[in-house]
């Protein structure tokens, strides 16, 4: 029997649903005799037991800390303590800003196998294999971990359906281990006024990327989006340049196109970070002059061509 450990997340006392996707990834390789434990750290960790009581979870480890503030040093200490006590074969967490700040360090310090942004897990001949993207999303790479008794992975969000159903896990309470922390939480940044822009709530998004070329060309696509009844979105470089407000950015450091059914990506290369915000969309139409652009790997329909010529054709039909 092997143990699998998932490190769940909360943010300022609110449960992070990406943890359920990490649990689903763990369930995908959980054997009949394996045991899945989920750890959650917080000022009142028992408040999250109901969120984590889903199918496949055998135990919730409720770890009491002094506050709900995220402290990477504290999470490192928790993972080290649990790994030493429980000897899990696999440790998983959601791939995001929290995991980025502790997972590689933990793996390096403790000598674990490590893979980030993992899209699939499986066992071959008794050995764990993790699949992730490589070469700017142009290929999928299988990684194995010879000689590693413990493997730590971060799971890409919006790939696994969140674990659901009703479980009846046991609950184990423990105090967070004492450790020195090198960061201090000073507060939360107030969200910017979106000005009525609702990327998460839009069902049709027209998004532009570097291919737009110049700020003077952006207005054309704002008008076209309005003509089409779409919300105009953009990739990070457009927002970083100040050509469009941050509220229109789709991606890991922007907005999730949560309810989008049709996504037209024009001049968007399709970086991992941008795909995070829209890969789950049922119908993606990509327009790019580069036939090797990563966006084509997830698009249902692809057009290799100039985004301005395609825009003109669209405008002529409305």
For residue 42, which of 109, 98, 112 has the smallest C-alpha distance?
Answer: 98
For residue 143, which of 127, 159, 165, 155 has the smallest C-alpha distance?
Answer: 127
Taking each helix axis from N to C end, the angle separating 218-228 and 307-316, rounded to the nearest 10 degrees, works out to 40
pLDDT at 137: 64
pLDDT at 252: 80
Mean local confidence (pLDDT), 258-266: 95
- 188, with CB counted inside 10 A (0-12, 13-18, 19+), is exposed
CA distance 92 to 94: 7
Mean local confidence (pLDDT), 190-219: 88
Mean local confidence (pLDDT), 203-228: 95
pLDDT, averaged across the chain: 92
Reply yes or no on whether the pLDDT at 148 is more than 80: yes
Task: Give the CA angle between residues 281, 287, 289 to the nearest 5°.
Answer: 145
Q: Residue 238, SS3? A: helix
Helix (H) or strand (E) holding 39: strand 35-42
Task: Tell me the pLDDT tens digit for each residue of 300-311.
Answer: 999 999 999 999
pLDDT at 180: 87
CA distance 223 to 316: 13
Domain boundaries of the chain, sorted by first residue: 3-175, 204-316
CATH superfamily of the 204-316 domain: TPP-binding domain (3.40.50.1220)
Task: Tell me the pLDDT tens digit for each residue of 65-118.
Answer: 999 999 999 999 999 999 999 999 999 999 988 999 999 999 999 999 999 999
pLDDT at 194: 64
Q: Please, which residues have CB within 8 angstroms of residue 23's CB and are 6 or more apart in sequence? A: 6, 8, 36, 38, 52, 54, 56, 57, 162, 163
pLDDT at 253: 79
Reply yes or no on whether the pLDDT at 181 is more than 90: no
- Bigger pLDDT: 254 vs 232: 232
pLDDT at 287: 97
Domains 3-175 and 204-316 share a fold: yes
pLDDT at 36: 97
pLDDT at 279: 85
pLDDT at 135: 76
Q: Residue 291, SS3? A: coil
pLDDT at 115: 97
Residue 289: how many other CB atoms lie within 10 Å: 13
Mean local confidence (pLDDT), 53-57: 97
> Max CA-CA distance within the chain?
66
pLDDT at 1: 64
Q: Which CATH architecture has domain 3-175?
A: 3-Layer(aba) Sandwich (3.40)
Supply the pTM of this predicted model: 0.74
Task: Give the CA angle between residues 152, 42, 4 to the nearest 5°.
Answer: 25
pLDDT at 18: 92
Mean local confidence (pLDDT), 144-161: 92
Reply yes or no on whether the pLDDT at 42 is more than 80: yes
CA distance 10 to 116: 20
pLDDT at 136: 63
Mean local confidence (pLDDT), 7-19: 95
């Amino acid at each position: 029997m092997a143990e699998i450990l998932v490190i769940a997340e909360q943010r300022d006392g609110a449960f992070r649903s990406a943890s359920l996707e990490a649990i689903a990834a763990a369930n995908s390789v959980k054997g009949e005799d394996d045991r899945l434990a989920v750890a959650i750290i917080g000022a009142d960790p028992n408040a999250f037991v109901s969120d984590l009581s889903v199918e496949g979870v055998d135990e919730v480890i409720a770890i009491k800390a002094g506050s709900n503030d995220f402290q990477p040093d504290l999470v490192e200490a928790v993972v080290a303590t649990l790994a030493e006590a429980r000897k899990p074969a696999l440790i998983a967490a959601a791939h995001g800003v929290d995991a980025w700040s502790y997972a590689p360090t933990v793996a390096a310090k403790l000598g674990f196998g490590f893979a980030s942004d993992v899209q699939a897990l499986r066992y071959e001949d008794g050995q764990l294999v993790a699949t992730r993207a490589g070469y700017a999303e142009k290929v999928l790479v299988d990684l194995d971990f010879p000689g590693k008794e413990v493997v730590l992975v971060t799971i890409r969000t919006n790939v696994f359906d969140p674990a659901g159903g009703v479980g009846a896990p046991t609950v184990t309470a423990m105090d967070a281990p004492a450790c020195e922390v090198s960061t201090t939480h000073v507060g939360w940044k107030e969200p910017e006024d979106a000005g009525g822009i609702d990327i998460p709530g839009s069902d049709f998004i027209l998004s532009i990327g570097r291919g737009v070329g110049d700020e003077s060309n952006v207005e054309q696509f704002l008008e076209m989006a309005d003509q089409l009844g779409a919300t105009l979105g953009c990739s990070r470089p457009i927002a970083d340049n100040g050509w469009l407000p941050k509220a229109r950015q789709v991606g890991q450091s922007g907005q999730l196109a949560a309810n989008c059914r049709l996504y037209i990506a024009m001049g968007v290369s399709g970086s991992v970070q941008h795909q995070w915000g829209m890969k789950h969309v049922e119908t993606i139409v990509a327009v790019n002059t580069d036939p090797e652009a990563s966006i084509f790997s997830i698009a249902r329909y692809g057009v290799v061509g100039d985004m301005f010529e395609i825009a003109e054709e669209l405008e002529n039909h409305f």
